Amino acid sequence: MNLEDYGWNESFEQVFSPFAAQGLLPARVFRGEKNYFRVICSLGELTVRFAGKMRHNAEGRQDLPVVGDWVAIEAQPEAGRGMIHAILPRFSSFARNLPGRRKGKGRERIEQQVIAANVERVFIVCGLDQDFSLRRIERYLTLVKAGGAEAVVVLNKADLSHDVDNQRRQVLEVAAGSPVELLSAKDQTQVAQLKAYSRPGETLALLGSSGVGKSTIINALLGDERQKVAAVSAGIGKGRHTTTHRELFLLDGGGVLMDNPGMRELHLWGEEEDLVESFAEIEALALQCRFSDCGHQSEPGCAVQAAVVSSTLDDLRLANYLRLKDELSQLQRRR
């Protein structure tokens, strides 16, 4: 088993040396279930749980393993099992404020949920059907760039749109320099263009709402029907949710592909500074405002509002920026 194909490198090896001295093995989590994980290691695939002391010492969910993590395991190869004793430091991770369970004892609760770890590049998949939303794309871009990965916006279902050129232009305007790819996942020739983003030993992840076609893209990239695909709903004209867990797949050439379930809610986790890269032009304009604490609403000398008036800045983009800024500001105060 060649762990380098799954992303193992010298940096991880250096960090792992104390665990190697304890007789532990490096492994990567490639699938997560409710009560256990599947990992890949030099002995092959094992089913593992994490040690009780990890849960005891964890300050929250973020300190427990997720798909993509490199971990130190005690292997029981004869039983096909093992135990996770430690998680290696993540070079990238994506986290959201956990949806649901929003109220507790009269006050809103917060809890960080790490979605995935150790990913170099993320395909943000958006359907050009009734799912198309610039504001959601902006939210995903903020999540990905704050997590330390490169973003690529993939506009799927081009065959279902009557306004493809205009939609792509709109996305390019908000993509903050990230590449934007246009395709129909049913056409394998078009999907093949995404393989250019794959690198040996690096991990690609797919993020997007339910039914945008992530599983179809996964199958096309793998050249095999590995992920279940559901037909488009006639009632709402959108794809149905099929993926229920996160999983890593090995691509030809050594790259790794991560599929993720569609997310109905994407509450950001982070700080206001996470908006700097995904809303770079607004941040630059804000530096020209008369007041350093300008709220970009009705303050005199606001360069941001002046850009809206002159139509050089979309008012809906500004409104979303202010909404996300307020969301992160409230999160910081509650934390």
Q: Let me know if residue 9 belongs to a domain.
A: yes
Judge if 309 and 174 occupy the same domain. Answer: no
List the beta bridge partners of residue 97. 112, 267
Contacts of 166 (CB under 8 A, 6+ apart): none
Q: Let me know if residue 222 belongs to a domain.
A: yes
pLDDT at 180: 97
Judge if 53 and 172 occupy the same domain. Answer: no
Asked if residues 150 and 120 have their Cβ atoms less than 8 Å apart, the reply is yes
Judge if 233 and 279 occupy the same domain. Answer: no
Helix, strand and coil in the chain, % to nearest 5: 35, 25, 40
| Separation of alpha carbons 241 and 262, rounded Å | 7
Q: Does residue 125 come out as left (phi exceeding 0), alpha (psi in the -120 to 50 range) or beta?
A: beta
Of 121, 116, 34, the residue nearest 68 (C-alpha): 116
pLDDT at 146: 92
Q: Which domain holds residue 50?
A: 3-87
Q: Let me know if residue 266 belongs to a domain.
A: no
Parts of the chain with a pLDDT under 50: 230-237, 239-243
Which DSSP state fits 272?
Answer: G
Judge if 279 and 250 occupy the same domain. Answer: no
Q: Let me know if residue 301 belongs to a domain.
A: yes
Q: Residue 222, class by beta-carbon neighbours within 10 Å (0-12 exposed, 13-18 middle, 19+ buried)? A: middle
CA 177 to chain centroid: 18
Which of 259, 281, 312 delimits the end of a domain?
259
Which of 216, 231, 259 delimits the end of a domain?
259
Of 249, 246, 126, the residue nearest 198 (C-alpha): 249
What's the total number of domains in the chain?
3
Helices 134-147 and 315-334 meet at what angle, rounded to 10? 50
pLDDT at 248: 95
Degrees, nearest 5: CA angle 181-184-190 = 65
CATH classification at residue 313:
1.10.40.50
Q: Let me know if residue 325 belongs to a domain.
A: yes
pLDDT at 182: 96
Judge if 171 and 278 occupy the same domain. Answer: no
Helices 164-174 and 134-147 meet at what angle, rounded to 10? 40
pLDDT at 225: 66
Judge if 16 and 68 occupy the same domain. Answer: yes
3-state DSSP assignment of residue 144 = helix
Of 176, 200, 306, the residue nearest 250 (C-alpha): 200
Phi, psi dihedrals of residue 93, rounded to the nearest 5°: -160, 150
pLDDT at 107: 57
pLDDT at 35: 79
Of 64, 93, 87, 116, the residue nearest 247 (C-alpha): 116
Judge if 148 and 245 occupy the same domain. Answer: yes
| Separation of alpha carbons 308 and 53, rounded Å | 54
Judge if 12 and 76 occupy the same domain. Answer: yes
Q: Let me know if residue 264 belongs to a domain.
A: no
Asked if residues 153 and 180 have their Cβ atoms less than 8 Å apart, the reply is yes
Asked if residues 272 and 332 have their Cβ atoms less than 8 Å apart, the reply is yes
Which of 237, 259, 281 delimits the end of a domain?
259
| Separation of alpha carbons 66 and 70, rounded Å | 9
Judge if 65 and 125 occupy the same domain. Answer: no
Asked if residues 249 and 256 have their Cβ atoms less than 8 Å apart, the reply is yes
CATH classification at residue 68:
2.40.50.140
Judge if 136 and 229 occupy the same domain. Answer: yes
Judge if 134 and 67 occupy the same domain. Answer: no
Judge if 168 and 282 occupy the same domain. Answer: no
Strands 180-182 and 150-156: parallel
Q: Let me know if residue 265 belongs to a domain.
A: no
pTM across the whole model: 0.88
Q: Let me know if residue 300 belongs to a domain.
A: yes
Query: Tokens 């890269």 correspond to what residue?
Result: 277
pLDDT at 99: 64
